Structure 1
Amino acid sequence: MPVPPELLLPFLAASLLVTVIPGADMALVTRQVLLGGPALARRTVLGNLTGLLVHGAALAAGLSALLVASAAAYTTVKYAGAAYLVWLGVQAIRTAREPAPAGAAPAGPRDAAPAGPGAGGRAGRGAFLQGLVSTVLNPKPALFFLTFLPQFVDPGRGVLPQTLTLTAVHVLVGLVWLTAYAHLVGRARAVLTAPRVKAWLERTTGAVLIALGVRVAFERR
């Protein structure tokens, strides 16, 4: 095992705590469930996790250290990520303002977007890219990997295998949690997609995304 158990188990517990804290990933998953059901949300989850893999690979390649060391690079990524989160929030609020189609009924569990080829169309690709871009342009995962993950690496062993293993563990925790979260939200979709409730949730999700974007913009290293 690349990572000794006495380091892997505490990392697993800490990774779980970090993952379940509400953030942009959960806000995006909530919105995708409302728009297209759990199948569409799973595309966003895959995008989020792919973004985490990018940060993990960047750490292994030393790019995360460069990002944190360079004030200009960090600021550029930070503001780009903040602007993207704000844009997603504005889009959610705009969606909430659109009138519901006449005679539209709340969506039930069977109305969710299928998990098959239909989920891989333009909407699926868009959901994946939203998760990917929002994670890659967020400097917080880079800081997490750079400052948190090395604490669980044994310098006496191979650093690269341990880094990749811990990255995989963190991604797996995210996969389990976000998939379960999307499923739970999907179970309540019939209620959540009632016109008034959906509009309120879209506004709330939009406000959360905008707030997260502002927080990222003004966050110091």
Structure 2
Amino acid sequence: MDIVTVLSFLGAAIVLTLMPGPDNLFTLAQSIAKGKNAGIFTTLGLCTGLLVHITAATIGISAVIYQSAFAFTVVKYAGAAYLLYLAFKSFREKSSNFNLHNEDNLNYKSLYKKGIIMNVLNPKVSLFFLAFFPQFIHYENGNVPIQMLILGIIFLIQSLVIFSLISIFAGKVGNFLRKNNSIAKKINIIQGSLFTLIGLKIAFSQK
């Protein structure tokens, strides 16, 4: 795989990662509501989930999901249901005391798990890999699975960097919002609304 292909892929990957989607919106919501550390641990979970999709794309499992309308639908609705469950929890906590300045009380393991589940249960990620990666594969060179794996690792690294930057930025926005008591009391509602938006986006997605 030549350097031109790698750089072209990296540029396209960065642009696509920055576009509004379930993963970066999820990171944004967690960071605004719970601080940058929450966003970073969520990012680690999301990127761990990417490893699952990268492996699936490399060995061909993603193609099976793409071919099976039933499998795609099951994974899609499971992901949407999980996001709507998180939205429900956020709305229930809308009147709770929202003292998020002390991030020591956060359950980072739980945030990491949420990131993994959120990413793994989004079938569009695997289908995206199937549609996007082949454009940068040199089939004449052979070793297609290895090329897919290399592209997957590059995609994962740039996602980790970008989502971490989003976490830091959104964490600062969250700190600013919490200075306004009226807004601070509604941060859970904002988070729940974002989760609902992401869940519906996944639920109504098409192959």
Aligned to 1:205: 191
Q: Does 2:83 match 1:99? A: no
Aligned-residue RMSD, C-alpha? 2.1
**Cα offset, 1:185, TM superposition:** 2.1
Find the partner of 1:173 among 133, 153, 158: 158
Find the partner of 1:182 among 139, 162, 167: 167
Q: Does 2:136 match 1:152? A: yes
Distance 2:33 2:174 in 1: 10
Aligned to 1:22: 20
Distance 2:5 2:116 in 1: 29
Distance 1:36 1:204 in 2: 12
Structure 1: give runs of 5+ residues left out of the alignment. none
Aligned to 1:215: 201
**Counterpart amino acid of 1:141?**
V
Are the structure 2 counterparts of residues 170 and 199 from structure 1 closer, same or farther at C-alpha, using a change threshold of 3 Å?
Answer: farther
**Cα offset, 1:56, TM superposition:** 0.6
**Cα offset, 1:204, TM superposition:** 2.7
Q: Are the counterparts in 2 of residues 46 and 131 from structure 1 also a CA contact under 8 Å?
A: yes
Q: Are the counterparts in 1 of residues 43 and 112 from structure 2 also a CA contact under 8 Å?
A: yes
Q: Are the counterparts in 2 of residues 47 and 128 from structure 1 also a CA contact under 8 Å?
A: yes
Q: Which moved more, 1:14-23 or 1:62-71?
A: 14-23
Aligned to 1:83: 81
**Cα offset, 1:34, TM superposition:** 4.3
Distance 2:136 2:3 in 1: 10
- Number of positions where the alignment pairs a residue of Structure 1 with one of Structure 2: 205
**Cα offset, 1:61, TM superposition:** 1.0
Aligned counterparts, 1:34-53, within 5 A:
34-53=32-51
Distance 1:43 1:178 in 2: 10
What SS does structure 1 have at the residue aligned with 2:97?
A: coil
**Counterpart amino acid of 1:162?**
Q
Structure 2: give runs of 5+ residues left out of the alignment. none
Q: Are the counterparts in 1 of residues 78 and 121 from structure 2 also a CA contact under 8 Å?
A: yes
- % identical aligned pairs: 31
Distance 2:122 2:43 in 1: 15
Distance 1:213 1:183 in 2: 24
**Cα offset, 1:24, TM superposition:** 2.6
Q: Which moved more, 1:188-197 or 1:168-177?
A: 188-197
Give the TM-score normalised by the residue count of structure 1.
0.84
